[in-house]
Amino acid sequence: MLRQLRKRIKQGLGREYRIRYRLLKASVSPTAILARYRTGTVVVSYPKCGRTWMRLVVSQALALRFGIEDVDYLADDVLGSVANSSPRIRFSHDDSPQWKPANRLETSKRRYRRKNVVLLARDPRDTVVSMYFERTRREQAYSKSLHEFLREPKGSIDTIIRYYNIWAHERSVPRQLCLVRYEELRAEPANQLRRILNFVGVDNVRDEHIDEAVRFSSFDNMRKMERDDELGSGRLRARDKNDEESYKTRRGKVGGYADYLSRENILWLDDRLTQKLDPYYGYGPTPRKSIPSSNAASVPVGSLPDSRTR
């Protein structure tokens, strides 16, 4: 009877709240609580900033360095239970910000004061567009247009900017903090990977291991693993193999937001970032050549239009 009651409660919830319930349940498990206590380094990011990619590249590099063969590449705790000599690294979205309006985010990071933190950041404009496709194509928990999503009070651009600003303000709270920008990780993955490994205390990784980790986690290989479900996990499994926008490895393009947004919305986002985002992250206005001359996006989003119905 208890199982039937739980099932009915979950069925009565909307798609978004069923997802939130599942994530909350996992986060308060004894295993997760113990792992958070034991972890020395936490990789923190807003969703859709490249966390899965970083998890794969770091896991593979450490697995090669410490000779581990049986690796769960998508675990929140990298090699935590199989390699005692490897540093304990945990991946977290910290505060589940994607479900909150900007004014409901936690403003204190005191719980990280005895931790080392790798803060993974990505251009908020790319992040918010990727978040839209996560909501509409993967989670299927949002049905409005991209134009409307940008202006949502919960989990959209204002939440992303506020999340970044809180971390910029609190960056001296952790024992140490290393800012890694998605764009730099894309441009020079080997150098950035070695920088991350040095930060967590692993400074003797061979060049060939770095190169193999970068190859393993390349966009093309991740897309293949997702399409073929090679890792057997919903964290890297295509929602619809025939719809590229439903993939976790959707595009990975730096500045790709300009392909989906109208001129009106690009300028609106640029103004938002200029006025509100802490300069600590270094994200400036969209290059003029990337802004369309009209309000038509260069890449159509099918039945999920960017512009309002006119």
> What are the tens digits of pLDDT across the range 117-126?
999 999 999 9
What are the tens digits of pLDDT across the range 158-168? 999 999 999 99
* Length of the chain, in residues: 310
What is residue 128's predicted lDDT score, i.e. its pLDDT? 98
What confidence tier does 75 reach under pLDDT thresholds 50, 70, 90?
A: confident
**44 beta partners:** 92, 119
Tokens of 273: 């970032």
Residue-range domains of the chain with CATH: 17-290 (3.40.50.300)
- With a cut of 60, say whether residue 242 has pLDDT above it: yes
- With a cut of 90, say whether residue 287 has pLDDT above it: yes
CB 171 within 8 A of CB 116: no
| CA 203 to chain CA mean position, Å | 26
What confidence tier does 80 reach under pLDDT thresholds 50, 70, 90?
A: low
State the pTM of this model. Answer: 0.85
Q: What is the mean pLDDT of residues 109-118?
A: 96
* Type of residue at 206: R
CB 176 within 8 A of CB 117: yes
- With a cut of 50, say whether residue 310 has pLDDT above it: no
- With a cut of 80, say whether residue 2 has pLDDT above it: no
**178 beta partners:** 118
- With a cut of 70, say whether residue 250 has pLDDT above it: yes
Q: What is the mean pLDDT of residues 189-194?
A: 97
The phi-psi region of residue 156 (left if phi > 0; otherwise alpha if psi is between -120 and 50; otherwise beta) is beta
Token pair 């099918």 in the structure block, residue: 302
Which of 34, 113, 108, 136 has the alpha carbon at shortest distance from 76? Answer: 34
What confidence tier does 31 reach under pLDDT thresholds 50, 70, 90?
A: low
108-135 b/e with 16+ CB inside 10 Å = b?
ebeebeebbbbbbbbbbbbbbbbbbbbb
Q: What is the mean pLDDT of residues 52-67?
A: 92
Per DSSP, the three-state class of 70 is coil
What is residue 203's predicted lDDT score, i.e. its pLDDT? 85
DSSP 8-class letter at 88: P
* Type of residue at 87: P
Distance from C-alpha of 184 to C-alpha of 191, rounded to nearest angstrom: 9
What are the tens digits of pLDDT across the range 213-239? 999 999 999 999 899 898 888 788 888
Alpha helices by DSSP H, the chain: 2-12, 15-27, 30-38, 51-66, 124-133, 146-150, 157-169, 182-187, 189-199, 207-216, 219-227, 263-276
